Amino acid sequence: MAEVSAPWVDGLTIGAVLRQTAARNPSRDALVFPQFNVRQNWREFDGAVDQAARALLALGIAKGEHVALWATNWPQWVVLQFATARIGAVLVTVNPAYRSHELAYVVKQSDAVALFLIDKFKSSDYFVMVAEAIPELATVGNGMLQSAEYPRLRHVLSLTDAPAAGMRGWSDFLKLAESVSPAQLAGRERQLLPSDPINIQYTSGTTGFPKGAMLTHRNILLNAYYVGDCQKITADDRICINVPFYHCFGCVLGTLCSSVYGAAMIVAYEYFKPDESLASIEDERATSVYGVPTMFIAMLDHPTRPDRNLTSLRTGVMAGSPCPLEVMQRVVGELGAREVTIAYGLTEASPVITQTRTDDPLDLRVKTVGRPLPGFDVKLVDPISGATLEDDQQGELCCRGHGVMLGYYGMEEATRRAIDEEGWLHSGDLATRLPNGYYRITGRIKDMVCRGGENIYPREIEEFLYTHPAVQDVAVVGVPDPKYIEELAVWVRLKPGSAMSEDELRTFCKGHLAHYKVPRYVRFVSEFPQTVTGKIQKFKIREAMIEDLGLAAAAKREMA
C-alpha cells in the first residue's frame, strides 16, 4: 500500500492535533461509552478537554509535572489523557489491577504530583487501597497533601462525585476551571514542544518489576498515525476499543489513533466483556476492533456471536501477545474483519514496530507480524555476539527511529541496557525476517528453555499445540530439573465441551515434535495468570509449577 512519508501530525503536540481534528469533524462521534450512557462529538470532547485542562492549571500543575491515573476505561480517563497533554503535564498510567503496594511503588517512583482514581473495580476497593498506601490522606482538610513518603504528591482526586476523605470529587475538580481563562490555557500551550515527554507508560510486568517508559508527543502521535494508516482508517471509521487505556494499545492505537483520524472511539465497557463488545460492534456499527488473542477467542466462542449482525467490521488490530494462526483465520472468516492487521511492538517503542497491511495476502497476515512502520529501522542481531544477521536467521529484534522512548524514568542503568550507544532499542524478542521484509516473532530470549543442551523456544511448541482441535489456549514454560537443568511444562485451556488427557497430549506431540520438545509436565487449567492487557504471565506459571512439583531446591541450584 502507499505510505505517506510526511504525516500531518509530525511537528504538532497532542493538544494541537485534537483541536484540528475537532475543527474538521465537529459533529462526528468522538466518544461512545454505552455503559456510562456517554456520547460526545468532537466539538464537545474538545470542550471537555479544555475544561479539564484549565482545572489542572488551577491545581497548579506545571509543565513537565507528573499526573498519575489509576482507573479502568472510564470516559474521564480519555478526557484526562488529552487534558494533561494540552497543558504539558506527563500522564502516568497505572495498571488497574495493581494493589496498594504496587500503587505506592508507581506513585513514588514516578514522582507524581497528583493522583486520579476510580472508586471500585470488580473486587478491588481503590479508596481502601489508596488509604493503605497513603495513610496521611485521611488527615487532609481543604489544603494539599503532605507526605514524607511521597514528597511530591499534592493532590488525590476521585473520578466520582463521592470521594473518600482527603480527596476532591470530579465535579468539584471541573469547577476549578472557572478560575483559569482560555487565554491562560493558550499561553501554556504555546510553551509546549513535540519533543517533550508526555506519557510514562509502565511496562506490564510479565518479566519482572515495572519500569516507566518516557514517551513524547511525537513518539506516540506518529505511532498512532501509522497504525491507523496500516488499517486505512478515516473519519468514517468507528473503532471498538476492547483493550485497557492504561496500556499503549489502548491509549495510542486506540484513543490517540482515533483523534488523529477523527474516527469514533467505541468503548463497550470499562473492562473487556465479550458480550458487551459484540453488542457494541453491532449497535454502533463498528468498522475496526482491537484486542489481544484471548479477547478475540472469547468473542468468537461467545454463544451470542452467530446471531449478531457484525457486517460493519472491516479491519482492526490483534496484538499484545503471540497471535495463534487459527485464531487469526477465524477472525477473518467468522468475525468478518477481513482486513484485520497484526501488530508487534513494545511499550518502549510507543508501541508498534511492525504491522501487516489490510491488502496483504492472508498468508502474510496469519504467519507474520508484518513489516516495519515507516520511519523505523529494524535489524536482527545474534544475542551473544551482537552480529547483524541476514534473512531467515533467528536473532534478537532491534529497532531505531521515531518511536524509541526517551528512556526509563529514573533508571539510567536500565535505559543503557535497553538502548545501545547507536540508538538501537533491544526488544528481548527473538525473530526471523523473510526475504520480503516481513518478520516472524519466534520467542523471547528469556523464554528460551535449555534442556540438556538443546535450546527450545516455547513459541514453536505453542503454535503446534494450537493446531489441536480441543486446545483453546496454551502456555509453555521451562522449569528447573536436577538432571536436564530445565524441563518443559505446559498449561492448557481446552475448548468448551472438549476433553483430553495428559497422555493424549504427549502422544499428539510425539508424532510431530522432536522428543526433547515434548512437555514433561502437563496441566489442564480453566484460566491463566494474565496482565490486564491479556498477556500470559509465564513467570507466575513457572513459580506455580516449581511449588507444585517441589522444585524449589532445583530452582536455587539453577540460580547459583
- The full DSSP string for 263-332 is PEEE--SSS--HHHHHHHHHHHT-SEEEE-HHHHHHHHH-TTGGGS--TT--EEEE-SS---HHHHHHII
Contacts of 553 (CB under 8 A, 6+ apart): none
Per-residue model confidence (pLDDT) at position 207 = 46
Are the beta carbons of 506 and 522 closer than 8 angstroms?
yes
Q: Which domains, ranges and CATH numbers included, belong to the chain?
A: 217-447 (3.40.50.12780), 448-559 (3.30.300.30)
E-strand ranges in 165-299 read: 197-202, 212-216, 238-241, 264-266, 288-291
CA 431 to centroid of chain Cα atoms:
20
Nearest to 243, CA basis, from 537, 534, 536, 541 = 534
Sign of the torsion angle spanned by Cα atoms 501, 502, 507, 512: positive
The low-confidence residues of the chain, meaning pLDDT below 70, are 1-5, 142, 204-209, 321-322, 453, 532-533, 556-560
In this predicted model, what pLDDT tens digit does every residue of 55-91 receive, in sequence order? 999 999 999 999 999 999 999 999 999 999 999 999 9
Query: Distance (Å, rounded) from C-alpha 439 to C-alpha 453?
Result: 27
Give the model's pLDDT for residue 209. Answer: 65
Distance CA 54, CA 293 (A): 40
Query: Phi then psi for 519, rounded to 5 degrees?
Result: -60, 135
Which residues are paired to 376 by β-bridges? Answer: 401
Q: Given this model, what pLDDT does residue 363 score?
A: 85
pLDDT of residue 3: 47
pLDDT in the model for residue 435: 98
CB contact at 8 A, 373 and 223: yes
Other CB atoms within 10 A of residue 421 CB: 6
Cell readout for 408 is: 526509563
3-state helix, strand, coil in the chain (%, to 5): 35, 25, 40
State residue 287 phi and psi, 5-degree precision: -105, -15
